[in-house]
Structure 1
Amino acid sequence: MFWSRSSRAVRQQWRLYSSLSRQSRHLRAPTPSPLSPLSAPTARAFHATGALSVVKPVLLADIGEGIVEVEIIQWFVEPGARVEEFSPLCEVQSDKASVEITSRFAGVVKKLHYEAGEVAKVGKAFVDIDIEGDAKDEALAALTPPEPAQQESNRESDAVPASTATHAPEPALRENRAQDAPTQKGKHATLATPAVRHLSKELSVDISQINGTGRDGRVTKEDIYRFVERRDAAPSRVPPPQPSPAMPAAGMFSSPAAPGSEEQKETPLALTRTQEMMFKTMTRSLSIPHFLYADEVDFTSLVELRGRLNKVLSKSGLSDGQVSKLSYLPFIIKAVSMALYKYPILNARVDVESANGNGKPKLVLRSQHNIGVAMDTPSGLLVPVIKNVGSLNILGIAAELARLQSLAVVGKLSPQDMSGGTITVSNIGNIGGTYLSPVVVEREVAILGIGRMRTVPAFSTTPGEEDKVVRRQVCNFSWSADHRVVDGATMARAAEVVRAIVEEPDVMVMHLR
């Protein structure tokens, strides 16, 4: 009985194995079988899903508070390039600063969703990466059809007889070919500093059309000027009319055209990212009711103290590698910080959308003095922030100021360097101007504008020499404040504290921390 049951089980297993073998042979056979329509689509769907799963879209992460879009400044990669994790992919310009975006995956770049100069949305895919890294340049080129214009030009070039082309002189033919042939660009074709990009936008130049002569193919200012000269000289080669001996040549402040000889021309220009930031910020800031308070400050004692300290710093080893020369701005920033301890309302912000639900605005006081400093840069007006000024001495403020200035010139300020300000100082005096009316920055209640320093005659304040005229170095301070929470008397008292500290800078020694 046992052997009978075992033999039946063996025969059933053998029949099942034979059936599966026949089905397998039917699947591999070239002729269609009843199982082929069912199994073939399943296999194709499985392989398609596996191929798509290795391509990972990289999403543009949030790089700062309130930033919803950025401009692609330059790409460091191109389709088909191999990247590693944390390798730089591109540089973007936000409303606050330029930032390098790195890769989250290691693999091969499959697609760039944006070109240089386009605006990318935060949270959206901006590059696709094949994480298996099996993509090849030849395969990418085979999948990309040629451009219609390129096909048309190829057909036209093939249709031209060789005898017709030989009629033109050889140098002229080479020149025409050099002008008509598109220049092949590499991955460094659009590399340039923010200052160069700002110049290209001012001159309406497409930076991708310029062959860079700088390091790694970077486009320089000289490259842009040469490109503009060739572009302006190309439409017309007729020499300009020479001025008559009786008429002076047109200078830099006059137009060579006669009055009324040409119609008015208007050339629209798109705003740069920095101008867009200023447009939005100032539109919101001017909804704040301002008032202006101006005062004149005697810099004579500060000029003498700064001169003595710079002599000390000029000696070898005493500057500790931080700064070699002090300007007046660190002293003014420190004086503002000292005044904020006595008048903390100037370091506050107005919370209009109160969290308590009753709809009433409230004043939020802040403990740290994060003083923003307005800077004129090649990219435009930027306001980096010196954090926690109250804990810094004059050298510390000067060192941080120098660091921020060096980063601002090359457009490398980070979002952290541009955020968190509680009050702003704007020094317009190094450019020119005695008086100004600064605009309060959003989320702040006060701003100080500094005019240029000038030498004036004044009566002496020394007892017994009141009638004596002496030289004085004076500078005008212009304060603007949010009149919703700051009144004129408070602003005047706080400005008086700053004036007294600047006029007697030795007081700062007693408040060193």
Structure 2
Amino acid sequence: MLRLRQLAPPPRRLLRHAGSAAASSIRTLHSTPPACRPAGLSGTPASASPWVGWPRVASLPYGLSAQARPLHTSPPSRAPLTPFMLADIGEGVTECEVIQWFVKEGDPVEEFGKICEVQSDKATVEITSRFEGTIRKLYYQVGDMAQVGKPLVDIEVASGGVAPVAAAAPEPSWTAAASSASASSAPSAPSATTNPDVLATPGVRRLAREMGIDLALVTPTGRGQRITKEDLHHYTGSGPSAASAAPSALSTPTPTPTTPMPGSAPVPEPTTVPDTTDVPLTAFQKAMFKSMTRSLQIPHFGYSDEINIDAVLAFRAEINRLLASARENHDPALATYADLKKITVMPIFLKAMSLALKPFPLLNAQLVTPAGGTGEADAAGASLRFRRAHHIGVAMDTPVGLIVPNVKHCEQKSLLEIALELERLKRLAKQGALSRSDLADGTITLSNIGAIGGTVLHPVLVESTLCIGALGQAQTLPRYHPIVPGKKELELRPTQVMQVSFNADHRVVDGATVARFVQLWKRYLEHPSLLSVTTV
């Protein structure tokens, strides 16, 4: 039997004029694969066709072809999935803890909409979406450590949006899968470590989870009935769990030695409970572990001196009197600082340091070495990066640990502007809400560890800086002073003094440079009137 002549598909106008039965047969023919066409239309004997019962088409309108076209029955393709990577949220941060999710799988998300909140060793950050679409997969649970540069969520980008080329999501490790499976398959009662009614920072909640402590059972001693890390350690030493885990010697009767009966099983030796507990490092401690290990490869040069701070304390008292008078009298000259109730000595120390840095720009520079190397072979490619801005870091003790935000552009700010910025950083540090910009790009550091205690200190350099200072505890000590300024006669009187300690990178900074810098800084502090006459 001859094959029908292959012709072009029928124009739409012929289909409109064809009868209903013919049009139906035409559609059937054009949507049938070649192997399933009715016999007599493709040259195949009727007996060879599995579709014997199909209706025959006696004739086709002019221009119609018996050549079949395949029928596509697959569902319409969905929008592409875009892995949303966790971006770098701070210098040296490689992982951070997921504190809470604002979305779940299947939820729509808008551009710049909140996805989750994460906490690193330096700050708590809210992650927002760069796309509009639908959340299809969450890669972490609350409490997991998310890796920087790895997928955080998968987003099905809305139609019309342009999805960037992103790396494929990595396969989860068996440890992550096991923890996810155990968390999803083992229902449990709500834990107090995630209960918002219990006041504790995210770092304390994570430590409680790692130690297996229910925060509802811990007695808070922090400000505002907040649970601190010390409360957790105190609980493990005297709480119910410790008491139940380690039987008391008073409540446990001493076994009496007995002679075993013939044929009886031997009496087992009493087991002892170990008096040590292994606790994994927190994310903050891991980051500090890595940072300090690298920092201690730098050869440190130390320098200490004593500063008479009587004049600084009098200068601060005068400024605080002016601030109080300005609030009472609505002085327009100080209207900008109406929210500044009083200042500490720290803004004075920072402004004096910025002025002292001007003749010694080396101490504000950064040593750049190939791949951060510290060996002799790295000296050939090393260079010094001088920085005009004075971004002075201030070490702060917070509930999650020591963090070092910095006051930007101290060389451009007045003393009161520095005081305002310090108050803002302190407030955010207590809330765990410092931003990445608050923590990045520090050029030199000053620690006020003496507020807790200690005199002569040994601060450790940060990799990106060449100098760090630490303030010791203020003390009232007897010191000799001239009876008449400029005369040799001396008298002994009580004096407020403070030990200050500096360390510098001895690879590029010599001792004489540090000594001259500290002496100039000391002069500004012992004669604070110079701060008001020196160019900002």
The TM-score normalised by the length of structure 1 is 0.72
Counterpart in the other structure of 2:309:
299
Q: Is the 8 A contact 1:96 1:277 kept in 2?
A: no
Deviations 1:49-98 (A, max 9, x none): 613x2654433234345544333222122234343322211112235422
Say which SS state the counterpart of residue 424 (structure 1) adopts.
strand
Query: 1:125 Cα deviation (Å)?
Result: 2.5
Deviations 1:432-476 (A, max 9, x none): 111110111112111111101000111222336834221100000
Choose which of 510, 516, 521 in structure 2 pairs with 1:487: 510
Counterpart in the other structure of 1:158:
none
Counterpart in the other structure of 1:400:
421
CA distance in 2, matches of 1:461, 1:377: 43
Choose which of 283, 286, 301 in structure 2 pairs with 1:273: 283
Q: Is the 8 A contact 1:285 1:439 kept in 2?
A: yes
CA distance in 2, matches of 1:112, 1:151: 14
Letter in 2 for 1:444: T
CA distance in 1, matches of 2:528, 2:499: 17
CA distance in 2, matches of 1:511, 1:390: 11
The within-5 A match list for 1:351-370 is 351-353=368-370, 359-370=380-391
Choose which of 436, 440, 451 in structure 2 pairs with 1:419: 440
Letter in 2 for 1:76: F
CA distance in 1, matches of 2:495, 2:466: 32
Do the aligned partners of residues 493 and 358 (structure 1) sit closer, same or farther apart at CA in structure 2, a change above 3 Å counting?
closer
Q: Is the 8 A contact 1:190 1:207 kept in 2?
A: no
Choose which of 455, 479, 487 in structure 2 pairs with 1:434: 455
Letter in 2 for 1:423: I
Counterpart in the other structure of 1:92:
118
Q: Is the 8 A contact 2:143 2:206 kept in 1?
A: no
Query: 1:221 Cα deviation (Å)?
Result: 3.5
Query: 1:113 Cα deviation (Å)?
Result: 1.0
Letter in 2 for 1:271: L
Query: 1:25 Cα deviation (Å)?
Result: 3.7
The answer to whether residue 498 in structure 2 is matched with residue 498 in structure 1 is: no
Say which SS state the counterpart of residue 397 (structure 2) adopts.
strand
Deviations 1:316-354 (A, max 9, x none): 144623421111111111111111111111111112239
The answer to whether residue 410 in structure 2 is matched with residue 384 in structure 1 is: no
- Could you list the runs of 5+ residues in structure 1 that have no partner in the other structure? 1-8, 134-146, 154-180, 212-218, 243-260
CA distance in 1, matches of 2:445, 2:24: 82
Q: Is the 8 A contact 2:472 2:498 kept in 1?
A: yes
CA distance in 1, matches of 2:247, 2:379: 74
Do the aligned partners of residues 456 and 132 (structure 1) sit closer, same or farther apart at CA in structure 2, a change above 3 Å counting?
same
Q: Is the 8 A contact 1:331 1:394 kept in 2?
A: yes
Do the aligned partners of residues 300 and 85 (structure 1) sit closer, same or farther apart at CA in structure 2, a change above 3 Å counting?
same
Q: Is the 8 A contact 2:119 2:202 kept in 1?
A: no
CA distance in 1, matches of 2:181, 2:502: 62
Do the aligned partners of residues 202 and 481 (structure 1) sit closer, same or farther apart at CA in structure 2, a change above 3 Å counting?
farther
Letter in 2 for 1:411: G
The within-5 A match list for 1:240-279 is 264-279=274-289
Counterpart in the other structure of 1:73:
99
Greater CA drift, 431-440 or 116-125:
116-125
Counterpart in the other structure of 1:122:
148
Query: 1:291 Cα deviation (Å)?
Result: 1.2
Do the aligned partners of residues 124 and 194 (structure 1) sit closer, same or farther apart at CA in structure 2, a change above 3 Å counting?
farther
Query: 1:205 Cα deviation (Å)?
Result: 5.1
Counterpart in the other structure of 2:492:
469
Greater C-alpha radius of gyration: 2
Do the aligned partners of residues 236 and 193 (structure 1) sit closer, same or farther apart at CA in structure 2, a change above 3 Å counting?
closer
CA distance in 1, matches of 2:389, 2:113: 36
Do the aligned partners of residues 40 and 367 (structure 1) sit closer, same or farther apart at CA in structure 2, a change above 3 Å counting?
same
Query: 1:201 Cα deviation (Å)?
Result: 0.2
Q: Is the 8 A contact 1:296 1:476 kept in 2?
A: yes
Counterpart in the other structure of 1:232:
241
Do the aligned partners of residues 41 and 473 (structure 1) sit closer, same or farther apart at CA in structure 2, a change above 3 Å counting?
farther
Say which SS state the counterpart of residue 489 (structure 1) adopts.
helix
Choose which of 318, 323, 328 in structure 2 pairs with 1:308: 318
CA distance in 2, matches of 1:231, 1:471: 51
CA distance in 1, matches of 2:513, 2:88: 39
Q: Is the 8 A contact 2:295 2:463 kept in 1?
A: yes
Counterpart in the other structure of 1:250:
none
CA distance in 2, matches of 1:150, 1:454: 54
CA distance in 2, matches of 1:150, 1:74: 16
Do the aligned partners of residues 64 and 238 (structure 1) sit closer, same or farther apart at CA in structure 2, a change above 3 Å counting?
closer
Say which SS state the counterpart of residue 380 (structure 2) adopts.
coil
Q: Is the 8 A contact 1:293 1:480 kept in 2?
A: yes
Deviations 1:174-194 (A, max 9, x none): xxxxxxx733699x8679887
Say which SS state the counterpart of residue 324 (structure 1) adopts.
coil
Say which SS state the counterpart of residue 77 (structure 2) adopts.
helix
Do the aligned partners of residues 152 and 342 (structure 1) sit closer, same or farther apart at CA in structure 2, a change above 3 Å counting?
closer
Deviations 1:282-312 (A, max 9, x none): 1111111101100000001111111121122
Choose which of 323, 331, 335 in structure 1 pairs with 2:340: 323
Do the aligned partners of residues 362 and 396 (structure 1) sit closer, same or farther apart at CA in structure 2, a change above 3 Å counting?
same
Say which SS state the counterpart of residue 452 (structure 2) adopts.
coil
Do the aligned partners of residues 392 and 322 (structure 1) sit closer, same or farther apart at CA in structure 2, a change above 3 Å counting?
farther
Query: 1:238 Cα deviation (Å)?
Result: 9.4
Counterpart in the other structure of 2:262:
none
Task: Identify the structure with the greater helix proportion.
Answer: 1
Deviations 1:73-130 (A, max 9, x none): 2212223434332221111223542211112334443321111222223343222344
